[in-house]
């Protein structure tokens, strides 16, 4: 019998009652490994009501106890890292190393959540006026929600609910319906760590369940990671319903290569950053902009990428896995064909990729284009596959123009031996996350994930200090205490403190 993915509602895993079933398939074989039922309206309501009730007591739990919960949770995640990675491999197809990395980057956020006492500190000033003090407290919002994508089924949920819950909120998590089992395992460990009943809820489903979150009056804030169109929809709909929203959307990340860079470092970086994780990363490098004589390296880059081969996670020599679904594979292949028709030179074509023993897998081989222009669809669209577009410009100023004219601003990097070039690039580029001789500049969680422009809709970003601000409100108190023998003056008819 096919495994049924359960919801996690009101402190327990419950068998779904809905009849709208979505198959969870192994993307290397198309075998159905589980079925996930979309949460019914009554299940959604029960989850939200449970979170609302739990908030009344959870917000009063001392911040040090909330920190210790996160310490225990981080410890369990480390103990079970391999178990979680195995689930990721089976339902998403990542290689073992990549899946473990997915879990580890989430663990780092939980460790930061364990630092919540210092992050929740307010401010104080004594004697703002005579015998009057002002101080502020940081307090939780209430019920918050997260909507997460398929490509990082451990890391991105762990971006969200640990920080929100550490701040004193309760949380509704709606993970991707394409790989929902990973989150259920994480929720199981959260319970083992001592999470109280109702603090975390996990409901499964698709658009109908997302809409329920967007419209429910008891949900105060929503975190989202996913595609551009969905991100825009969630931001507009959520804010129309007067909710706080952070929506991380699409990307088109550029690496600028200066001719003074170390060639082998550039090649190694481009191989991993372009086709790693089958290109299914919002911080993948999908465009390489070669400046001046560095363009001579393009054939060597293509040759190095051509040595990479996809495969199943049980193959230790596989560099990356399949696309998540046949539909995703078909979209990538159609964009590759579009690139050829538009006049780009396909110097490495992975369209006809096959993996021995797995004829039904969603395979796309590493693909490299040269002579790409900004008018082409392979440049304008986020391909989300193992496809690298290369361009050639004459100067750093031209490279900056290419990057800054892009509607996206998630991540970028520059490879150079020149401090002056690096300083100019980091200062002038209109992108939120910049790497210098680092291809994928995802910050560690004591900083925040700071995409710009069309890659992010909202005001406060994920994890780090900005996450604390997103999941909390500031209450400011101005106080004066009178001595018994104080001289009582007449009424103050102005706004001035005195």
Q: Can you tell me which residue has the tokens 């502020």?
A: 136
Instruction: State pLDDT tens for residues 135-178.
Output: 999 999 999 999 999 999 999 999 999 999 999 999 999 999 99
**pLDDT given at position 490:** 80
For residue 341, the tally of other CB atoms under 10 A from its CB is: 9
Question: Which CA distances in Å does 328 have to 178, 325, 366?
Answer: 12, 5, 15
Distance CA 298, CA 300 (A): 5
CA gap 495, 498 in Å, rounded: 9
Task: Please compute the mean of the pLDDT values over residues 406-426 and round it to a whole number.
Answer: 98
pLDDT (0 to 100) of residue 99: 98
pLDDT at residue 484 above 80? Answer: no
pLDDT value at residue 475: 98
Which tens digit of pLDDT belongs to each residue from 169-227?
999 999 999 999 999 999 999 999 999 999 999 999 999 999 999 999 999 999 999 99
Q: What is the pLDDT at residue 330?
A: 98
The pLDDT tens digits of the residues spanning 323-336 come to 999 999 999 999 99
Residue 47: the pLDDT is 98
Buried b (16+ CB within 10 A) or exposed e, 55-72: beebbeeebeebbebbeb
Predicted pLDDT at 179: 97
pLDDT at 489 over 80: no
Q: What percent of the chain has pLDDT over 90?
A: 96
Residue 228, pLDDT > 90, answer yes
Average pLDDT over residues 482-487: 76
Mean pLDDT of 437-460: 96
**Active-site residues: which are they?**
282
Q: What is the pLDDT of residue 498?
A: 76
Judge whether 459 and 239 are in contact, CB under 8 Å: no
Residue 445: per-residue pLDDT = 95
- Cα 33 to the center of its chain, rounded Å: 25
Q: Decide if 387 contacts 332 (C-beta within 8 A).
A: yes
User: With 0-12 CB in 10 A as exposed, 13-18 as middle and 19+ as buried, what is 437?
Assistant: middle
Cα torsion 79, 88, 193, 460: sign: positive
The rounded mean pLDDT for the chain is: 97
What mean pLDDT do residues 68-92 have? 98
pLDDT at 1: 58
% pLDDT > 70, the chain? 99
Eight-class DSSP state of 487:
P
How far apart are the C-alpha atoms of 329 and 351, rounded to whole Å? 10
Asked if the model's pLDDT at residue 306 lies above 90, the reply is yes
Distance between CA 322 and CA 386 in Å, rounded?
10
Partners of residue 479 on adjacent β-strands: 133
Per DSSP (E only), the strands in 365-485 are: 367-370, 387-393, 408-409, 412-415, 434-436, 452-453, 456-457, 472-480
- Provide the pLDDT for residue 494: 84
246-293 pLDDT per residue, tens = 999 999 999 999 999 999 999 999 999 999 999 999 999 999 999 999
Whole-model pTM? Answer: 0.96
């Amino acid at each position: 019998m096919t495994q049924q993915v359960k919801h996690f509602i009101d402190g327990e895993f419950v068998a779904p009652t809905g009849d709208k079933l979505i198959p969870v398939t192994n993307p290397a074989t198309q075998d159905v490994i589980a079925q996930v039922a979309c949460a019914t309206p009554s299940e959604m309501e029960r989850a939200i009501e449970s979170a609302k009730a739990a908030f009344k007591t959870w917000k009063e739990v001392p911040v040090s106890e909330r920190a210790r919960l996160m310490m225990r949770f981080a410890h369990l995640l480390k103990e079970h890292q391999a178990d979680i990675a195995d689930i990721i491999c089976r339902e998403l197809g990542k290689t073992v190393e990549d899946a473990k990395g997915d879990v580890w980057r989430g663990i780092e956020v939980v460790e930061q959540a364990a630092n919540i006492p210092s992050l929740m500190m307010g401010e104080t000033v004594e004697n703002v006026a005579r015998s009057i003090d002002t101080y502020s407290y940081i307090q939780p919002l209430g019920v918050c929600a997260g909507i997460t994508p398929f490509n990082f089924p451990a890391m991105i949920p762990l971006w969200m609910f640990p920080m929100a819950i550490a701040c004193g909120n309760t949380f509704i998590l709606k993970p991707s319906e394409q790989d929902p089992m990973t989150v259920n395992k994480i929720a199981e460990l959260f319970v083992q760590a001592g999470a109280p009943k109702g603090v975390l809820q996990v409901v499964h489903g698709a658009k109908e369940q997302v809409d329920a979150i967007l419209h429910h009056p008891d949900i105060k804030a929503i975190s989202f990671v996913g595609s551009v169109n969905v991100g825009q929809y969630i931001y507009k709909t959520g804010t129309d319903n007067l909710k706080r929203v952070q929506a991380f959307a699409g990307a088109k990340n550029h690496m600028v290569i200066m001719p003074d860079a170390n060639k082998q470092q550039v090649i190694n970086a481009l191989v991993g950053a372009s086709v790693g994780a089958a290109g299914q990363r919002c911080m993948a490098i999908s465009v390489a902009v070669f400046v001046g004589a560095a363009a001579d390296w393009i054939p060597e880059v293509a040759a190095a990428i051509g040595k990479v081969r996809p495969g199943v996670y049980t193959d230790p020599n596989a560099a990356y896995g399949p696309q998540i679904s046949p539909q995703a594979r078909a979209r990538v292949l159609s964009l590759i064909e579009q690139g050829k028709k538009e006049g780009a030179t396909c110097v490495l074509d992975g369209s006809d990729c096959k993996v021995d023993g797995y004829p039904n897998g969603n395979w796309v081989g590493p693909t490299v284009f040269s002579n790409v222009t900004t008018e082409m669809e392979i440049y304008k669209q986020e391909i989300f596959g193992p496809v690298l577009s290369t361009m050639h410009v004459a100067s750093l100023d031209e490279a900056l123009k290419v990057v800054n004219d892009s509607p996206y601003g998630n991540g970028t990097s520059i490879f150079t031996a020149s401090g002056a070039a690096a300083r100019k690039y980091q200062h002038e580029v209109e992108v939120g996350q910049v790497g210098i001789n680092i291809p994928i500049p995802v910050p560690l969680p004591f900083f925040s994930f700071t995409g710009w422009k069309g890659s992010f809709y909202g005001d406060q970003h994920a994890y780090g200090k900005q996450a604390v601000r997103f999941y909390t409100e500031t209450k400011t108190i101005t106080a004066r205490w009178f001595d018994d023998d104080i001289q009582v003056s007449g009424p103050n008819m102005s706004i001035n403190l005195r």
